[in-house]
C-alpha cells in the first residue's frame, strides 16, 4: 500500500501518443412496452441518445483523465461523424492534430439500443477497408517523425484496416530506437509477431487462449502461455489480463507474478483493459518500474469492473483506493497539493469549523456537489478553533473529518491550523470557492487569494450555515 502511494506521489503526467482504431459509441436509450405488428420484434421508444469515445478514443480519454497531454492518431472518414468525433475528443482535452482523414474510409460508429438497461441490438457502421501501400507510406512519412515528441506510445488495435503490419513495424521500431515505451492492446486474431520488439502487450484471457491453443486455469498455464507470447513478440515483458482473477506479469522464468484484482463486486469487465493500458502507458512514460505500476493498474481495473458500463479512473481515485480504508478521504495538505498538480479535473473548495455538524451543513455540502468534479472540505484544527473561540471543540478534529468524509458529496477532507484558508486556496488553486448565505455581502479574509488564483466565488443561498 505504501509503495502504491509512493509510486503515485512520484508520478508526473507526460505527453503521450495513442495510435489505433477510434470508434464512436452511440447509445439509444429507451423503453419497450409492446411488440411490433409488422414482425415479432420489440418496439423501442427512444428517450435519449448519447455519444461516447470508444476504441482508441476510450484509451486516450483514460490517459487524459490521468492528467497526460494526449494526442490521438487514428484513421477517420471525411463525414459528419468526424465532426462528432472531434467534438468528443476536444471535450476530453485530446489533441486531434494527428487524425488522418480519408474519403474512402467511414468514421467508425457502433450504435447500441438499450431498453431498461438491457442491450437489445447493436448496429455497426463500418465497411471492409485496407490501406493501400502508397497511403501507408504517406502515413509513415507524416507520423513516424512525430513520435520523438512523446514520452510513450500506446497502440489500440481493433483490426479495422488502419494498423497494417508495415505501419505497426515502423511505429514499434521507431519507439525502440528512441527508447520510448510502447504498449499495445493487441488485435483479436492478429499474428503477434507483428508486434515484435514492443515493450509489452496485454491480451486478455480469451485472446490468449485463442493464440496458444489451451485454457488458462493455473499459474503453470499462465507461465506457459506468457512464454509463448514473449517468444513471438520479443517484448520486454508480457501481461495477461485475467478479468476478475487479476493480471499476470511475466518477464522470464524467474520473474513473474499474479496480481490479484482488488474489487470484490463485479458488475462489468467492459473498459478494464483500456484502463490497464492507460495506467501502464502513463507510468512507463514517467520511467517507473513495471512491477510498481501493475498493482496500480490492477487497482484501477478493480474500480472499473465494480461499476456498470465503461468507466475511467482518476489519479485522486487511485490515491484514495491506495490509502487505508478509514482514511481514504482524509488527506494531508502536501498529498492533496500533489494530487491537484496532477489533476486536469475541476475542483471546488469550502472551509469551516464544522464543530457542530447539522443537517444544514449536510445540505450545504450536497449543494456544493454541483460545482466541479472534486470537492475539498478544509476544517479548522482543534488548536485553531481554541485560538478563535477560547475553547477546544466538543467534536475533535479527526471525528469531524471522518463525519465529513462519510458524505458522498465530499471527495477530500484536509485539516488546517490557520485561522483563514488563504494559504490553502493559494496552494490548491481551486476552480470554485463555495460559501454559505451568511457570508453574502461580507468582506472575506481570503478574497485576495480567491482573486489571485482566478477561482469563481459562489454562494449557496438556499441554505444558511454558520461556521
Q: For the segment 24-42, what is each residue's pLDDT rounded down to a tens digit?
A: 999 999 999 999 999 999 9
For 413-449, give one letter per residue: b (16+ CB within 10 A) or e: bbbbeeeebbebbebbbbbbbbbbeebeeeeeebeeb
Which residue is associated with the grid cell 483490426? Answer: 159
Which residue is associated with the grid cell 483523465? Answer: 65
Q: Which residue in 25, 185, 274, 411 is the catalytic one? A: 274
Spatial CA neighbour of 399 closest among 466, 327, 321: 327
Radius of gyration over every alpha carbon of the chain, rounded to an integer in angstroms: 25
Q: Which three cell numbers stand for residue 124?
A: 455497426
- pLDDT for the residue numbered 317: 78
**Spatial separation of the C-alpha atoms in residues 416 and 319, rounded to whole Å:** 20
The residues near 398 (Cβ < 8 Å, ≥ 6 apart) are 330
Q: Which three cell numbers stand for residue 142?
A: 507524416
Q: Which three cell numbers stand for residue 307?
A: 461499476
Residues of the chain with confidence (pLDDT) below 70: 1-2, 261-271, 305-311, 323-328, 342-344, 462-467
Whether 124 is catalytic: no
- pLDDT for the residue numbered 323: 67
Which residue is associated with the grid cell 507483428? Answer: 194
Q: Which three cell numbers stand for residue 71?
A: 494526442
The burial class, CB within 10 Å (0-12 / 13-18 / 19+), for 274 is buried
**Spatial separation of the C-alpha atoms in residues 78 and 321, rounded to whole Å:** 43
Q: Which three cell numbers stand for residue 267?
A: 458488475
- pLDDT for the residue numbered 321: 76
Domain ranges of the chain: 2-321, 326-460
Q: Which three cell numbers stand for residue 167?
A: 505501419
- pLDDT for the residue numbered 267: 38
Using CA atoms of 341, 343, 348, 353 in order, give the dihedral in degrees to the nearest 10. -50
Instruction: Give the number of C-alpha atoms closer than 13 A to the C-alpha of residue 333, restricted to the C-beta side.
Output: 16
**Spatial separation of the C-alpha atoms in residues 456 and 81, rounded to whole Å:** 35
Asked whether the beta carbons of 275 and 312 are under 8 A apart, the reply is: yes
- pLDDT for the residue numbered 301: 79
**What would the CATH number be for the domain defined by 326-460?**
3.40.50.620
Please name the helix (run of DSSP H) or strand (run of DSSP E) that holds residue 359, with its range, or none. helix 359-368
Which residue is associated with the grid cell 487524425? Answer: 99
**Spatial separation of the C-alpha atoms in residues 244 and 302, rounded to whole Å:** 8
The burial class, CB within 10 Å (0-12 / 13-18 / 19+), for 144 is middle
Asked whether the beta carbons of 162 and 131 are under 8 A apart, the reply is: yes
**Spatial separation of the C-alpha atoms in residues 108 and 65, rounded to whole Å:** 23
**Spatial separation of the C-alpha atoms in residues 247 and 270, rounded to whole Å:** 15
**Spatial separation of the C-alpha atoms in residues 267 and 305, rounded to whole Å:** 6
Q: What is the phi/psi pair of residue 232, to 5°? A: -70, -40
- pLDDT for the residue numbered 265: 46
The string of pLDDT tens digits covering residues 429-445 is 999 999 988 888 788 89
- pLDDT for the residue numbered 360: 87
Fold assignment, 2-321 = 3.40.1190
Spatial CA neighbour of 54 closest among 129, 107, 131: 107
Q: What is the phi/psi pair of residue 458, to 5°? A: -125, 145
Q: What is the phi/psi pair of residue 306, to 5°? A: -85, 0
**Spatial separation of the C-alpha atoms in residues 422 and 366, rounded to whole Å:** 23
**Spatial separation of the C-alpha atoms in residues 81 and 254, rounded to whole Å:** 49
Asked whether the beta carbons of 279 and 154 are under 8 A apart, the reply is: no
Instruction: Give the number of C-alpha atoms closer than 13 A to the C-alpha of residue 75, restricted to the C-beta side.
Output: 26
Please name the helix (run of DSSP H) or strand (run of DSSP E) that holds residue 247, with its range, or none. strand 247-252
Amino acid at each position: 500500500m505504501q509503495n502504491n502511494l509512493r509510486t503515485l506521489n512520484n508520478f508526473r503526467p507526460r505527453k503521450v501518443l495513442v495510435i489505433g482504431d477510434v470508434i464512436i459509441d452511440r447509445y439509444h436509450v429507451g423503453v419497450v412496452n409492446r411488440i411490433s405488428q409488422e414482425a415479432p420484434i420489440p418496439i423501442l421508444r427512444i428517450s435519449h441518445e448519447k455519444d461516447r469515445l470508444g476504441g482508441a478514443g476510450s484509451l486516450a480519454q483514460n490517459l487524459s483523465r490521468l492528467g497526460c497531454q494526449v494526442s490521438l492518431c487514428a484513421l477517420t472518414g471525411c463525414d459528419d461523424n468526424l465532426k462528432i468525433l472531434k467534438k468528443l475528443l476536444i471535450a476530453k482535452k485530446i489533441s486531434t492534430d494527428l487524425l488522418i482523414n480519408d474519403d474512402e474510409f467511414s468514421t467508425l460508429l457502433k450504435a447500441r439500443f438499450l431498453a431498461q438497461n438491457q442491450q437489445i441490438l447493436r448496429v455497426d457502421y463500418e465497411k471492409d477497408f485496407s490501406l493501400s501501400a502508397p497511403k501507408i507510406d504517406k502515413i509513415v512519412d507524416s507520423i513516424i517523425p512525430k513520435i520523438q515528441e512523446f514520452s510513450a506510445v500506446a497502440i489500440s488495435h481493433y483490426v479495422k484496416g488502419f494498423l497494417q503490419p508495415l505501419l505497426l513495424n515502423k511505429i514499434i521500431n521507431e519507439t525502440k530506437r528512441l527508447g520510448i515505451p510502447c504498449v499495445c492492446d493487441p488485435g483479436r486474431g492478429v499474428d503477434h509477431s507483428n508486434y515484435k520488439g514492443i515493450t509489452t502487450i496485454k491480451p486478455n484471457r480469451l485472446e490468449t487462449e485463442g493464440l496458444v491453443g489451451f485454457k488458462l486455469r493455473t499459474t503453470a498455464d499462465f507461465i506457459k502461455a506468457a512464454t509463448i507470447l514473449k517468444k513471438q513478440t520479443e517484448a520486454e515483458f508480457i501481461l495477461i489480463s485475467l478479468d476478475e482473477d487479476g493480471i499476470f506479469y511475466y518477464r522470464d522464468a524467474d520473474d513473474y507474478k499474479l496480481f490479484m484484482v482488488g474489487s470484490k463486486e463485479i458488475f462489468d469487465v467492459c473498459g478494464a483493459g483500456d484502463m490497464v493500458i492507460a495506467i501502464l502507458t502513463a507510468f512507463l512514460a514517467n520511467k517507473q518500474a513495471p512491477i510498481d505500476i501493475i498493482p496500480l493498474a490492477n487497482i484501477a481495473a478493480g474500480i472499473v469492473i465494480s461499476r456498470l458500463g465503461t468507466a475511467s479512473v482518476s489519479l485522486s481515485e487511485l490515491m484514495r483506493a491506495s490509502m487505508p480504508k478509514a482514511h481514504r478521504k482524509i488527506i494531508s495538505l502536501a498529498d492533496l497539493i500533489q494530487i491537484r498538480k496532477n489533476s486536469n479535473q475541476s475542483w471546488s473548495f469550502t472551509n469551516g469549523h464544522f464543530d457542530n455538524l447539522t443537517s444544514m451543513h449536510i445540505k450545504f455540502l450536497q449543494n456544493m456537489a454541483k460545482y466541479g468534479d472534486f470537492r475539498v472540505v478544509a476544517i479548522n484544527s482543534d488548536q485553531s478553533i481554541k485560538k478563535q473561540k477560547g475553547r477546544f471543540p466538543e467534536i475533535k478534529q479527526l471525528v469531524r473529518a471522518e463525519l465529513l468524509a462519510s458524505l458522498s458529496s465530499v471527495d477530500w477532507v484536509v485539516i488546517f491550523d490557520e485561522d483563514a484558508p488563504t494559504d490553502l486556496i493559494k496552494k490548491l488553486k481551486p476552480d470554485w470557492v463555495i460559501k454559505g448565505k451568511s457570508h453574502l455581502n461580507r468582506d472575506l479574509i481570503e478574497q485576495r487569494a480567491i482573486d489571485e488564483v482566478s477561482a469563481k466565488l459562489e454562494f449557496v443561498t438556499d441554505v444558511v450555515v454558520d461556521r
